[in-house]
Amino acid sequence: MSDLLAGMGRPSRRGAPPPDIVDLVRVEDRISFLYFEHCKINRSDNAITVRDDTGTTYVPAASVSVLMLGPGAAITHGAVVLLGECGATVIWVGENGVRMYAFGKPLTHSSALLQTQARLVTNRRTRLAVARLMYAKRFPGEDVSRLTMAQLRGREGVRVRRVYKQWSEKTGVDWDRRTYNPTNFDDATEINKALSAAHVCLYALAHAAIVSVGCSPGLGFVHTGHEKSFVYDVADLYKAELSIPVAFKTAADGPEDIGAETRRRMRDAVCDLKLLQRMVGDIKDLLLSAASPKEKAALAGKAALDPAANHLGLWDEKSGEVAAGRSYGAGEVGD
């Protein structure tokens, strides 16, 4: 015990200083995701090192959007700290499904988009407006401006069934219904395994994009009550275009490891579609389209969306905000 306490008292060796936020790669310009298994991940300055039987690979941490760790992967404290500082999302992918255990801090100091998101989601009229915008992106060419949520859900259900049927016919993959065991990946048909793997990649990317721009994963407009409600909202915008086709095409080829092959094809498709860039643009567009004129004026052109902006104020119920970093004595308090 004395040796342990003595060791705890020794000064730790300092690594490279954390990167400044203005030096970090924008999320839309990053590698979509990397998957590793049966390896040891460590830190070397501002890169992560991945060591396995074939050797060591160096990856600039600031260029990674999502790091997926499969069975047999071990990661050091230093590597997790670095990935967090760089705003990367880290998820552990197990044989019995996927769990989200960590995510990076935002690639902005501003809470402007988060405040707009919170205001929009807590007002019935504006929440419905954003939900309609989301469905409008999924139903191009259709007027959904007057539909209720019940009508939108019904239309979405018909659309998803039609998409599944179309890809089943195109690929020759038998399709019955979407069914899977969330605690056991292997307890499903091959097409349902492929869909689960593809959707998980999409959820991880949506989560990374949402967190990176400073929004809340839990404040959803269509989904509600879950810590990743907004993640599911954003991911649903791209399933018919991305994860469903990739899953059916992969299942049609019958690979030995359908989960791994689906992830590889998802990575290629994400790159081809420039998905991260689209996600960031769609998130901002959805929130700003339904924002008030005052919010739009505050967010446009200024500093609110500038990663280097490091604004901090104090809330005031009359004026909205007063300056922080000063002492408000009794003589300065208003009526």
Does residue 249 sit within a domain?
A: yes
72 and 127 belong to one structural domain: no
Does residue 316 sit within a domain?
A: no
Does residue 220 sit within a domain?
A: yes
Instruction: Report the C-alpha gap between 244 and 241 in whole angstroms.
Output: 7
Q: Which of 98-112, 170-184, 235-249 has the weakest average pLDDT?
A: 98-112
- Of 74, 102, 130, the residue that ends a domain is 102
Annotated binding-site residue numbers for Mn(2+): 156, 223, 236
Average confidence (pLDDT) over 233-260: 95
| φ/ψ of residue 99, rounded to 5 | -130, 140
129 and 246 belong to one structural domain: yes
- CATH number for the domain spanning 89: value is 3.100.10.20
Does residue 6 sit within a domain?
A: no
For 71-86, how does the pLDDT look when each residue is reduced to its tens digit (9 = 90+)? Answer: 899 999 999 888 888 8
Instruction: Specify whether the CB–CB gap between 27 and 60 falls below 8 A.
Output: no
Examine the pLDDT at 266 and tell me if it is beyond 50.
yes
Task: For Cα atoms 211, 277, 117, give the angle at the middle one, nearest 5 degrees.
Answer: 40
The pLDDT score that the predictor gives to residue 299 is 61
- Of 38, 67, 102, the residue that ends a domain is 102
134 and 212 belong to one structural domain: yes
Instruction: Report the C-alpha gap between 189 and 181 in whole angstroms.
Output: 10
Instruction: Specify whether the CB–CB gap between 226 and 220 falls below 8 A.
Output: yes
For 129-148, how does the pLDDT look when each residue is reduced to its tens digit (9 = 90+)? Answer: 999 999 999 888 889 989 99
Annotated binding-site residue numbers: 156, 223, 236
Instruction: Report the C-alpha gap between 267 and 277 in whole angstroms.
Output: 14
Q: In what order do the strands lie in the sheet with 89-94?
A: 31-36, 64-69, 89-94, 97-102
Cα within 13 Å of Cα(44), Cβ side: 11
163 and 264 belong to one structural domain: yes
Q: Which of 96-100, 155-159, 312-316 has the weakest average pLDDT?
A: 96-100
- Of 71, 102, 133, the residue that ends a domain is 102
For 27-42, how does the pLDDT look when each residue is reduced to its tens digit (9 = 90+)? Answer: 556 667 788 889 999 9
Instruction: Report the C-alpha gap between 290 and 124 in whole angstroms.
Output: 12
Instruction: Report the C-alpha gap between 66 and 89 in whole angstroms.
Output: 5
Nearest to 235 by CA among 215, 259, 205: 205
Does residue 130 sit within a domain?
A: yes
The pLDDT score that the predictor gives to residue 83 is 86
The pLDDT score that the predictor gives to residue 9 is 37
Does residue 236 sit within a domain?
A: yes
Determine the 3-state secondary structure of 150 from DSSP.
helix
Task: For Cα atoms 251, 256, 261, give the angle at the middle one, nearest 5 degrees.
Answer: 60
Does residue 240 sit within a domain?
A: yes
Determine the 3-state secondary structure of 65 from DSSP.
strand
How much of the chain is in helix, strand and coil states, percent to nearest 5?
A: 50, 15, 35
Determine the 3-state secondary structure of 31 from DSSP.
strand
The pLDDT score that the predictor gives to residue 139 is 86
Nearest to 33 by CA among 201, 194, 198, 199: 201
23 and 128 belong to one structural domain: no
150 and 274 belong to one structural domain: yes
Residue type, 147: L
For 188-227, how does the pLDDT look when each residue is reduced to its tens digit (9 = 90+)? Answer: 899 999 999 999 999 988 998 898 888 999 999 999 999 9
CB neighbours of residue 328 within 10 Å? 11
The pLDDT score that the predictor gives to residue 14 is 43
152 and 240 belong to one structural domain: yes
Examine the pLDDT at 68 and tell me if it is beyond 50.
yes
Burial (CB count within 10 angstroms: exposed 0-12, middle 13-18, buried 19+), residue 65: buried
Number of independent structural domains in the chain = 2
Confidence of residue 26 (pLDDT cuts 50, 70, 90): low
Tokens matching residue 260: 């791994």
- pTM of the complete model: 0.74
73 and 142 belong to one structural domain: no
69 and 204 belong to one structural domain: no
Does residue 72 sit within a domain?
A: yes
Instruction: Report the C-alpha gap between 72 and 67 in whole angstroms.
Output: 14
- CATH number for the domain spanning 264: value is 1.20.120.920
190 and 270 belong to one structural domain: yes
Burial (CB count within 10 angstroms: exposed 0-12, middle 13-18, buried 19+), residue 201: buried
The helices-and-strands tally (H runs, E runs) of the chain is 11, 10
Confidence of residue 153 (pLDDT cuts 50, 70, 90): very high
The pLDDT score that the predictor gives to residue 297 is 66
126 and 70 belong to one structural domain: no
90 and 117 belong to one structural domain: no
Query: Domain of 98?
Result: 15-102
Instruction: Specify whether the CB–CB gap between 231 and 242 falls below 8 A.
Output: no
